[in-house]
Structure 1
């Protein structure tokens, strides 16, 4: 069986790479950078103004930084659920960041839109309820994709069992009160 999402599970740990499936679109971003720079040069020569070239350079830098972020940081992010430390961690090339305690996790829900959906982990600390995205937005037409099916059929159910989450419906009345049905 293929190991999608770099998923590993043991009695005390579950880890996976949430953004493994996301594509970078480097050719598209490179094409957009070239287009913006070309438009900036045309504006510079047509109106003899430096504003066009400065805006084109700024937009190009933003596109390039976004590509670098996705390539070097986002695609190397790992979520780790650790029962020994009772913590949920986000591991990036910059280090290990504690996200939430495992005993504060309430449920894992699905947020769906017209053409996309994603999985969200909900935790309650003190009087506040926090949401953490466990996956990137997944397009509905990708539901038959083996990577997405592995997420739905293996990772999420094992994560729910690992966290001992009930299948009860939780309704948040306000930020302080929660009742289960």
Structure 2
């Protein structure tokens, strides 16, 4: 974890900062501000934020346990505030979230979807798999034609596991 930052559980009051970081990333599909408030309330146990010394949110990961596969943690979004990029924060958050989910839920698999043009996310999750000695399987989960908005790329499922 980069110095002066700490991993914490998100609180509802963090929803606005998380929404802003997602918006400013210019890479993530931006959800409504309301959805980030709900996420911080309903999925705080499977999500994390990084806080700076003043308690401000420097980055986040939202995740959930798959209802039909309770040993799988799904990572929904990962983003780091521009001022904190390039210091390994996303990887530290991912490792922290995994440790939390494995201890609290007995998860053995991590899933995420990444569009083909999102090289930084592909590198983040490949690096996570290497650090944990796990395999990664790639399959298209949602083809581009399923999305109602024009120009949306397919979402490729990255299934990492088994993890111990």
For the criterion TM > 0.5, the same-fold answer is no
Structure ID, larger Rg: 1
Q: Which has the higher contact order (CA 8 A, sep 6+)?
A: 2
* TM score, norm. by length of structure 2: 0.30
* TM score, norm. by length of structure 1: 0.28
